[in-house]
DNA sequence: AGAAAAACCTATCAAAACAGTGGGTAAAAT
DNA sequence: ATTTTACCCACTGTTTTGATAGGTTTTTCT
């Protein structure tokens, strides 16, 4: 299951994509619009900034804004950045150590096929696809 | 991520499907073949029996066996039974309470589309697809 | 009748993940 | 100098995960 972190991250991105793309938007505004605790969003938006998805500016008039156009963000990168790997099983995650059963594992092909499906779904889906005027 | 419960359940089912379909197979044997603690498997196989996927027989000569043919089990039902709902977000689970934001939620269609994808994938995949001779 | 082999039942537990909260510091504009 | 903002660090309660431990009942075989 996708946790609140990934889901809220997506809502932050959608919220920003719906605002003036040039202006820095304070987190306070996002939190109020989305009805989510600003404190909690701080943790999440930090990941988005560190991951290079958002630009931030401190001080009065500061806030956050997108670094690219909405159609240039995939939902997959947003979720993976905040949520960790999309891999459905531990042995298929990036940092996974070699599974000794891999060659004999009858379920591995299933998990691989599933992992591909999930990856393609979320990486082909763009932030711009989630915004309606 | 699919947890060990769902993954081990699948391995139990595959193991049973690979044995003589008429005989009751003791859990001890399954545990040894799969290299998983029998005690832990007890918990998991209980779900499979209660969910109607397996027949069990107590006492000497007892054990577990499939109630249907391998091609009549979907991977989806096995995972969902042991793992709980396949829903990717809480608001799409069976027992979910109405989300007040549902009508305005810009991410809901995404989660629904994803939920369908996952559901179709796992319910179209049969236990028999995982077994090679 | 008794031993053995199996399922079945209940409780407990440590570690990790999840979902936050709280209090402060640094940076930038007015 | 004040205000507004991001940024940083620690902490906390709850739930889930991944088991382990010990005992009871059921069935078969001798």
Q: Give the model confidence (pLDDT) of A45-99 as tens digits.
A: 999 999 999 999 999 999 999 999 999 999 999 999 999 999 999 889 876 677 8
The average confidence (pLDDT) of chain B is 95
Mean pLDDT, range A105-113, rounded to an integer: 95
- Burial class of A82 by CB neighbour count within 10 A (0 to 12, 13 to 18, 19+): buried
| A98, A52 Cβ separation under 8 angstroms | no
The predicted pLDDT at position A88 comes to: 94
CA of B28 to C1' of C18 (A): 35
Scanning every strand, the nucleotide with its C1' closest to A7's CA turns out to be C19
8-state DSSP, B19: S
Residue A101 banded pLDDT, cuts 50, 70, 90 = confident
| pLDDT > 70 in chain A, percent | 98
B7 and A CB contact within 8 Å: yes
Scanning every strand, the nucleotide with its C1' closest to A39's CA turns out to be C21
Asked if pLDDT for residue A102 goes beyond 80, the answer is: yes
Asked if pLDDT for residue A39 goes beyond 90, the answer is: yes
Tokens of A49: 């900034």
Beta-ladder partners of A65: A55
Task: Give me the domains of chain A, ranges plus CATH numbers.
Answer: 4-130 (1.10.10.10)
Q: Which residues of chain B neighbour A122 with C-beta distances below 8 Å?
A: 114
Closest CA to B17 of B82, B68, B80: B68
Contacts of A39 (CB under 8 A, 6+ apart): none
The predicted pLDDT at position A19 comes to: 95
A36 and B CB contact within 8 Å: no
- Burial class of A97 by CB neighbour count within 10 A (0 to 12, 13 to 18, 19+): exposed
The predicted pLDDT at position B133 comes to: 59
Residues of chain B with pLDDT under 50: none
The Cα–Cα gap between A30 and A13 comes to 10
């Amino acid at each position: 299951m996708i946790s609140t972190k990934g889901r809220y991250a997506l809502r932050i991105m959608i919220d920003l994509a719906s605002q003036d793309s040039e202006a820095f938007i304070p987190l306070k505004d996002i939190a109020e619009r989305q009805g989510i605790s600003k404190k909690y969003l701080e943790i999440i938006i930090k990941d988005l900034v560190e991951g290079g998805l958002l630009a931030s500016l401190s001080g009065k008039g500061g806030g956050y804004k997108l670094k690219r156009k909405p159609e240039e963000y995939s939902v997959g990168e947003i979720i993976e950045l905040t949520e960790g790997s999309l891999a459905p099983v531990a042995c298929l995650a990036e940092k996974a150590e070699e599974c000794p059963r891999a060659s004999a594992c009858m379920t591995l092909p299933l998990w691989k096929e599933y992992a591909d499906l999930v990856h393609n779904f979320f990486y082909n889906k763009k932030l711009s696809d989630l915004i309606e005027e």
